[in-house]
Structure 1
């Protein structure tokens, strides 16, 4: 007789669902197609350095947003699984954004970034921010001293204002912002003495304008100072030519005086040598000369040596005066022509 034993819980098998749950992949916020822009410098026309990171970032972010890639670069859209349908699109978009970043870096920044072996655009973006903040934080004292002692020097006004504003932006990025009033004061303090009149005019009309309102006025003042310097140099050239001509005339007179004295001395020595030879001949004609001498009352007395010397000096003085007046007339004519026809003179 067979006996039946009760079934134990261990022998029972749990029921399995007949249908499995469907898992739908999350759609990533990416452009429908990879960007086709090849020349990023048409949209981000500057290279990243340690002094213009904030400016570079402010220019780059709107461009990434326009291409629907800002979330990817900032890390909000991580790389999906290999089986995800948008995996290939993500790789293409990330590679394009990474190449854009590298194309806008200065050679020194690019060499530094390549040493960190960044594989994605987000890694490169984050590393650049870290490099910039670390660099600025370590050189805060240097930046402050450089800002307070920055001078225009031989820089153009455009370069001077750009570098000064970059230093102010770098200090703001590390939590040491520069007020607009202090920025304007430092800008005026770093100008050369040729801008003294311009600065005095601003001091008389307080308050100072803003930094951006001051910029076009400084550029205009730079052109005005260049025009004045050009006029002064041309006048100096004209006066130099006149002085040179005067010196040449004086040298010419001195040379002629020396030749005349040497010739007279030579003739005197020659006459002294022949004085003995001609003594007999002079004695021979003594009686003839005495008999044929002209009455002084008719022609007057012969000129004395002192009178001849005075006449010669007078002639030289008149000649020198004429030369000097001629040179002055030439210089005045040049200056007058420059004032009337400045464009023709500059050509």
Structure 2
């Protein structure tokens, strides 16, 4: 895309020209800029649709412009994140898009890949995103991926430990409640027995 100077279209920073232009005496003629825009947009749409996975392609049914496709793809990844994809799946999906861009002659740099990965993370990763961004000159793409996979693993362990503590606390509370009820019953029985 860069080699054809089409990345501005992808990002939506190129405005659609009017279909016709006014010439002398209010006569109109077809606008060459409009025709070029439509041809480039159609090329990008067909190229991108031919390079995405079937899973992602289903999300793009009815989308007609490159800007709409790009917005839909971004929304798809955000909603994928909200569906709690695991980190490996999320990174694989980002890699798939990056590979498709590279195949088209528009490879993303490692810094662009890092920015894409970090930009799509949920708020639980905000601290780690900040740390990574503060050290961006020292951390490679593989390093970022490794950090994020480790963070996810640690979060899963913490969640499992918390659930274990919660169950344990509930069982302890149940034991305390049953023990105190048994003690009350025994006390009541012994008091009843003393009265007889």
Between 1 and 2, higher relative CO (CA 8 Å, sep ≥ 6) is seen in 2
Higher helix share: 2
What TM-score results when the alignment is normalised by the length of structure 1?
A: 0.31
What TM-score results when the alignment is normalised by the length of structure 2?
A: 0.50
Kindly name which structure, 1 or 2, has the bigger radius of gyration based on alpha carbons.
Answer: 1
